[in-house]
Amino acid sequence: MARITVEDCIDKFPSRFELVLVASNRARKLHSGENPSIEKDNDKNTVIALREIASESLSKDQLRNDLIEEYQTVSQNENEEEILNDEDSSENLIEASENDNEDNSQNLIDETENKSLEVENKNIDETEVSNEEKNLQDSDHDMINNDEIKPEE
């Protein structure tokens, strides 16, 4: 059979770009092991793909869908499952957020109580220290008055 060119298939697709994409995708599929829909006639995969397009042995819609599926990273079923999982995840996030808020509230209460206790303990310690200082000053004063220790003149 005579060789076929892109010019022979241009009337099958609205643009050369789309034709080249579809033909190259079909040639790759043939190379990966798919069976051609026409006889090989000892032709290369690119020629077989163009001959299939020219003879319309595969529909344009099928070729387009094959091309889309080739470049699509998520299938429709996986996409639907992801949407459902996202909805479940959203509910779980809301629930976790509510639990976190409760935990955070309890943590804030605990922290406030701890700080209050620390302030009280600090005040008690300061009071004890000031009492001890006062006692020391009083004892120093008593010692000076009793002439046990003479101040330097």
Q: What is the pLDDT of residue 70?
A: 85
Tens-place pLDDT, residues 89-129: 666 666 666 666 666 667 777 777 777 777 777 767 667 66
Residue 146 has pLDDT above 70, yes or no: no
State the amino acid at position 98 in one-letter form: E
pLDDT of residue 125: 67
Read off the amino acid at residue 66.
D
**How much is the pLDDT for 53?**
93
**Cα(39)–Cα(23) distance, rounded to whole angstroms?**
17
What pLDDT does 111 receive? 77
Single-letter code of the amino acid located at 80: E
**Whole-number average pLDDT of the chain:** 77
Contact 57, 4 (CB under 8 A): no
- Is the confidence at residue 30, as pLDDT, over 60? yes
Residues of the chain with pLDDT > 70, as a percent, come to: 58
- Which backbone phi and psi does 87 adopt, to 5 degrees? -65, -45
Domain 6-71 has CATH 2.60.120.860: no
| CB 40, CB 25: distance < 8 Å | no
Burial of 136 (0-12, 13-18, 19+ CB in 10 A): exposed
What is the Cβ-side half-sphere exposure of residue 114, based on CA atoms within 13 angstroms? 6
Higher-pLDDT residue of 63, 135: 63
Asked whether the beta carbons of 12 and 56 are under 8 A apart, the reply is yes
Which segment of 11-20, 30-39, 122-131 scores lowest on mean pLDDT? 122-131
**Structural domain spans, the chain:** 6-71
Tell me 33's DSSP state.
T
